[in-house]
Structure 1
């Protein structure tokens, strides 16, 4: 069951009606409903993996209580390690087992030894496992660092772990935000529901009209990169930047909007990263929940920016490499993380990693300065180049793709694999970018216009665009489901 399906909207409507019109007066019943709905939502893909979510929930629930019950630091740390080892072990087996086996075999082959891959298993990656394991671990960390008191309400905690709007691809929520809301009574708010529906509509537009329509072009170019000139390869990776942004930020908008329907506010996960003025600002705006997780639970415990510059560079490198590996069991993601570390470190050394934290491009005027335009284009180019590693099937393909960009300078116009006019897609992306620039100061209000007529025109255009671009013949799953 995916967000952009009829089944989901039928499911969502039923849960919404039960939540507000049947169980409105009963907090525990509402949380039970959320829990059951979340398990149905997740089990729609593969009910067998529900046992993993339940097991992770049970482990971290009792780990947190055990940490809180002991005052001795050694014992508290041992219980924390139970959570870390269990969750990382779970993630490691299902996501990275075959990667390590294959890498071990490849290493031996370099020395002339041929090993059969008899240890390789046909392990299916449980959808969303990278997200909910990090979410439950963050709860144990917060209890350990005494930032949070553990709850004894197991049902509410289980609902926090499996909350269906953000279960599969985030945002990765901390218990201090999401669990605290589930433990307290929620009141129906018309404005909150309308705000949620607007975000859902905008998220669907980004997914259906932007990401899904570009997908076949990107797939064609990356699958046949050896037959295309540099101009087409540059087009392919540029379009992928828009595809992955529309796909993932679209998911996050729908998740945040859906949560609003149930009186719950999730953290913002995307803050118009395509208008970032350096790589550091980009990571303050892209997949914010993951960046925040690594900052609180890896970067700061490693020492953060305290101490020498050399140690800070070490910590930055570790965070980006681990972040790359979190995205997938492939050397392409490790190189992608390493590339971003190399791009981030100069910004850090110049002391410019936090200068744009509280501002947006064109902060006090509508139009950006020429300097800002140059900064945005440079940052977009760096990030887009890194996505060659992110999108390629193997590290060999990634370097071959880059090689062709710098050696095959022939130009030939690209033709859409399904015969559509490419100019329509160029116009679409330009208009989309201009609209996002216009609303860049508030990621929660995509249709914030005083005029009802203007809002009605926007809604109409968005809905008509989705009907026009919707294609049931393509893969409609979200890119980050594979992580």
Structure 2
């Protein structure tokens, strides 16, 4: 059930009409039923798996709250990690590693095949996001930063809050639980307007930008290597950058809007990332809840625990964390290389900054003066986008090789450039305007004629420029 389909909006309209007629307890019960229906719409057979994961961490969280012995508490955390990461490995990585093992055996003259049951494992939707959200809860209870939830139904609601269930943002117990277990404020005109803005922005990014540019991206990356020249690869990188941004930030924005109409405020996951002035700033603006999760639950513990000292420790831990980020995205060597590349970017920025060879624009610098740093950062990110989109390391190598080959301006390049200009340029102009005001909700404070004009443009483009096909959200596969 996708946010940008009629099926979802029929479901949500019925849900919301009942939701606001109930008290807090009734709303929470309805939310839990709606979550099971929403997830079960995709494949009801995976509901017991979700219930199992919820039950394990619910019991562990309660025990952590009652237990004072350090050794037992560490064992409980280890049990939670084994349960969550073990299942994640089976569903997401087992087929990949089994295939790599068979290929390795072939080098020694052995003919091994991946068992049928492994080849046919289906990845449950949203399991990576669910895993990170539950791990953060267990770790916060272990650190005494969050009180354990006493009722299973309450914890199940925290884990399965359906607006952000499938692709985030990854919420912490400290931010979402207080909203779940206190009466919601009534839906005011301001809250409705904010939710409407998030929904319109999300629909525009997904339907107009992402799904239309997907046609260009899929065509370019499906071409034989000899038909991809430098312009095609560059165009494919640009188009995919805006496709994945429109797709993922579109989901996050729609999740914010849906939650806002239900009386909740979700975390921001994107804040104009393509206007970042360095790789570090990019990760402070792109998939923010994953970046902060990795910082708090992986980077900082590694910094405290590793035997290295000084800058060597920072460089090593940064590389390990970024590799983990790449592996989290999927079971493919391309994601490993993508994570390594971003680790190198961050280490290089730190090294150059310490040498005095790199300095970001000062706060308050105009957007025009920041543009050289913005363009450099954007193109560094586009190098990574080639790795992220390529189906294999071999295809990624072919794309990089094409950048050093012929640069022929073909009809495909003309068509793709026109598509980028038509679909991505309006989004970037709008984001430049918001960036100049340093406010992602600047439109809500604009005069009503300006708001009306922007919404009208969005609606007209959604209506008159529909994509050839409606695609699932890219991050559902992660």
Match for residue 468 of structure 1? Answer: 464
Q: SS in structure 2 opposite 1:403? A: helix
Match for residue 426 of structure 1? Answer: 421
Mapped partners of 1:30, 1:40: distance in 2: 15
Match for residue 180 of structure 2? Answer: 182
Mapped partners of 2:137, 2:438: distance in 1: 29
- Alpha-carbon shift at residue 230 of structure 1 (Å): 1.0
1:121 and 2:119 matched: yes
Mapped partners of 2:274, 2:416: distance in 1: 25
Deviations 1:414-469 (A, max 9, x none): 268xxx78535414322321111101255642623432111111111111110012
CA contact (8 A) 1:68 1:149 kept: yes
Change (3 A) 1:70 1:29: same
Match for residue 2 of structure 1? Answer: 2
**Please, what is the CA RMSD of the aligned residues?**
2.1
- Alpha-carbon shift at residue 365 of structure 1 (Å): 6.1
Change (3 A) 1:231 1:421: closer
Mapped partners of 2:158, 2:99: distance in 1: 36
- Alpha-carbon shift at residue 180 of structure 1 (Å): 1.7
Q: Give ranges in structure 1 of 5+ residues lacking alignment.
A: none
What pairs with 1:20-419 in structure 2 (closer than 5 Å)?
A: 20=20, 22-23=21-22, 26-118=23-115, 120-190=118-188, 191-226=190-225, 227-303=227-303, 307-351=309-353, 364=364, 367-369=367-369, 372-414=370-412
Change (3 A) 1:140 1:185: same
Deviations 1:28-48 (A, max 9, x none): 111111111111111110011
Deviations 1:329-359 (A, max 9, x none): 111100100111111101123457xxx9xx9
Mapped partners of 1:400, 1:428: distance in 2: 27
CA contact (8 A) 2:271 2:440 kept: no
CA contact (8 A) 1:270 1:443 kept: no
Mapped partners of 2:461, 2:442: distance in 1: 16
Q: SS in structure 2 opposite 1:176? A: helix
Mapped partners of 2:105, 2:292: distance in 1: 38
- Alpha-carbon shift at residue 51 of structure 1 (Å): 1.2
Change (3 A) 1:52 1:118: closer
CA contact (8 A) 1:199 1:446 kept: no
Mapped partners of 2:32, 2:178: distance in 1: 16
TM-score (norm 1): 0.92
Change (3 A) 1:273 1:415: closer
CA contact (8 A) 1:202 1:446 kept: no
CA contact (8 A) 1:203 1:252 kept: yes
Q: SS in structure 2 opposite 1:409? A: coil
Deviations 1:377-425 (A, max 9, x none): 1110110011111001111111111112212333323268xxx785354
- Alpha-carbon shift at residue 211 of structure 1 (Å): 0.5
Q: SS in structure 1 opposite 2:404? A: helix
- Alpha-carbon shift at residue 176 of structure 1 (Å): 0.6
Change (3 A) 1:117 1:365: closer
Mapped partners of 1:207, 1:89: distance in 2: 33
TM-score (norm 2): 0.93
The match for 1:459 among 451, 455, 458 is: 455
How many residues in Structure 1 have an aligned counterpart in Structure 2?
468
Mapped partners of 1:403, 1:421: distance in 2: 20
Deviations 1:292-334 (A, max 9, x none): 1111111111116994211111111111111101000111100
Task: Write 1 or 2 for the structure with the bigger share of helix.
Answer: 2
Match for residue 13 of structure 1? Answer: 13
Mapped partners of 2:74, 2:216: distance in 1: 50
CA contact (8 A) 2:434 2:440 kept: no
The farther-off stretch of 400-409 and 320-329 is: 400-409
The match for 2:472 among 458, 474, 477 is: 477
Q: SS in structure 2 opposite 1:300? A: helix
Mapped partners of 1:99, 1:382: distance in 2: 28
Q: Give ranges in structure 2 of 5+ residues lacking alignment.
A: none
- Alpha-carbon shift at residue 366 of structure 1 (Å): 5.2
Mapped partners of 1:425, 1:383: distance in 2: 17
Deviations 1:124-147 (A, max 9, x none): 111101001111111000000111
The farther-off stretch of 109-118 and 54-63 is: 109-118
Change (3 A) 1:430 1:121: closer
- Alpha-carbon shift at residue 14 of structure 1 (Å): 1.4
